[in-house]
Every structure is written in structure tokens, then in C-alpha cells.
Amino acid sequence: MAIDPIELTKKLVNIESTTYHEGHAGAFLYEYLGEQRYSVERTEVEQPDGASTPGAGSGERFNVYAAMPGITPDVVLSTHMDTVPPFFGCSEDDEFLYGRGTCDAKGIIAAQVAAADRLREGGVKVGLLFVVGEERDSAGAAAANLSPKGSRFLINGEPTDNRLALASKGALRVELRAKGRMAHSAYPELGESAIDKLIEALHDVLALQLPVEPEIGPSTLNIGLIDGGRAPNVIADKAEAHILVRLVGPSDEVRRSIVAAVGDRADVEFSLDLPFVRMRKVGSLPTMIAKFTTDIPKLTAWGEPFLLGPGSIHVAHTPREKISKRELLEAVDHYVELATSLVQNGEFEAKCSHFGRF
């Protein structure tokens, strides 16, 4: 019986799996794929230190890899099991599925599982790789990259409205920490405000002219978290801010600019650096530029990358997250067509190379 991606999406969305809490989703997929006659592997991924990582879990977390027994896959379909918080379960109407992960990325998992079922029946050597941690630091992808399976192509899934991405922006996470000296707020001259230092530094960071790539667009910068101080009547002895820069090229220039802008007002730490990626067009699928980053920069050992998936990034990470049932079904066809085309063209090029035509 063919796999129903709509029903599978609903089951997955109803399993809470925010980042660091992916264990139940991984266990479900491990069992489900085993029932589909796959040989299934799990790779443990460490939990971060809870003292330094808000929201860190204590349960198990692991990647799930599946393929038919004994094969080396030509193409691997991959996406992530984790979601951003907060969790909310699945609901539906005639047109859409709603809930956390419907488009980012549990609907994509379901579409890839359904596509892999058709691909293997068509003789394509296909694998499935579902990882943890994409929404935070790509820890699962980094772990998977240590044990690749020999695939020539990787089709990564993120919400691209079923368009093939020609590029995806990189990501640079920056943490600023300012130090000061506490004092009674009635006597500010006796203290040194860490918050004042941080605000001044952030003002100069926001004024930076960031790189622009003509075909892709500008780098963008978001100050996503700010924390500091003790009380309104206390001069703040500490303050910090977390920034995310969407990169359109190498990070070196941006790093230098931020360090120079901050100066000695705060310590600067770069806690994540995922590079900008270009990809090629294949077939007749419509194309797009992904302004977000993906696990692709951490899965370099899994073959030439492609990025494709159902759903809109505009509703991902929001209370309105949803996916069109029609688009979900169309995604299965797109994954089958793309994977088949890649494998067939790769075999043709290999034969031509063998006979000296290139």
C-alpha cells in the first residue's frame, strides 16, 4: 500500500520534538521505517550543557538513517526532525494541515518517505536521513557528516514552495557580552553600566554596511536576544545580546567589521558560522533563492546538494504554520522526478566519461 504523506504528516506533527527534545520523533521514525522494510540506523547526538544552553533537554536524541539492506545509495533525501518552540498539535481543513512542523519540516519528512517508497520501487538506490538540531546549531548534520554512506547526491528539504533553490544564505551567530560595575542608581558615577556599553555597541553594529551579492541580495542582521542588569535601581554589571547575520558570502569581512564596531565595549564570540551555498538548476522546476540557511553546509560528505521542499518559509516559526495538502502531494512527485533525473544523468555522464566522450 502506498504511503499517505498527509496522514504521516499528522502523526509526526502530533509528536512534540522541539530542538533538544527530538527523541520521541526519532523513535517513531525508527520503528515506522523498519516496518517499511528498510534497514534503519540511529546515531546518537549529545545533549548540550544545560547550564549554558537554554531549553536543553536530558533525554536521548539521535539521527535516523534508512536504506534498503546492503545498498549504497545514489541519492539521499534528508531534512530535520526538530522544530522551534512552542509545540502545538495538528489540525486540518479541506485545504491545509496546521501545526508546529507542518511545513518545517515534518510535512517534508512525510513527502520524502513517500517519495523514497516510489523511488525504490522504480529501482533507484535511495536513502533517507533525518537529523536533529537544525533549528539551533546543525549538531545532527555535523554528526551525520562523520559517517556518510557514499551517496552522490543529497536532496535537502526545507520550505521552498516546491521550488528548487539556486542558493541559500549562510548564518553567523554573534554573542556580545558587556561587563560593568554595580552601584546604586542614585549615584551612577560610582558604577559603570554594562547596559549602556552594550546599547552603544549595538547602535554601531546596526549602522554597519554589510556585503551585498547582486544575484542574491543583501546580508541581513537581526538582534534576536538582549538580557542584562539586576533591577531598575541598580547600575548594571552585566549585559549580553545575541545576533544572527544572514550571509551572502564568506564571513571574514563581517566578522572583522563587527569586532571593530564593538571595540572594547563588549566581548565578541562567534558561536555559529554556516557558509553561503550556491547550487545548480536541474530540469524544469521553478527556482528561488533561500534567504535562510540549512543543514547543507554541514552535510558536505553526502554528495552534491540540492534544496527543495513544500510549504512557505513565511509561515514557518509562526503561530500560523501550515502546509497545503495539494502542495504536499505535489512534493512527492517533485522529489521522485528530481532524484530520478539526477541518478539517470549521473549514470549517463559516467558511461560517456568511460568511453572518452568528455
Phi, psi of 211 (to 5 degrees): -60, 150
Q: Which long-range contacts (CB under 8 A, 24 or more apart) does 115-121 make?
A: 115/77, 115/331, 115/332, 115/335, 115/336, 115/339, 116/66, 116/77, 117/2, 117/3, 117/36, 118/2, 118/332, 118/336, 119/75, 119/335, 119/336, 119/339, 119/340, 120/68
Q: What's the rounded Cα separation, in Å, for the pair 112 and 156?
A: 10
H-assigned helices in 102-193: 107-121, 139-144
Among the listed residues 16, 95, 121, 134, the single catalytic one is 134
DSSP assignment string, 195-257: HHHHHHHHHHHHT----EETTTEE-EEEEEEEEE-S-TTB--SEEEEEEEEEESS-SHHHHHH
Which H or E run contains 332? Answer: helix 325-354
User: Nearest-CA neighbor of 20 among 53, 64, 67, 68?
Assistant: 53
Nearest alpha carbon to residue 65 among 31, 33, 40, 89: 40
Decide if 134 is catalytic: yes
State the CB neighbour count (10 A cutoff) for residue 340.
19
Task: Give one DSSP letter per residue of 267-327, joined into a string.
Answer: EEEEEEEE--EE----TT--EEEESS--SGGG-GGG-EEEE--SS-TTTTTSTT-EEEHHH
CA 222: distance to chain centroid? 17
* Distance in angstroms (rounded) separating the CA atoms of residues 260 and 262: 6
Q: What residues act catalytically?
A: 134
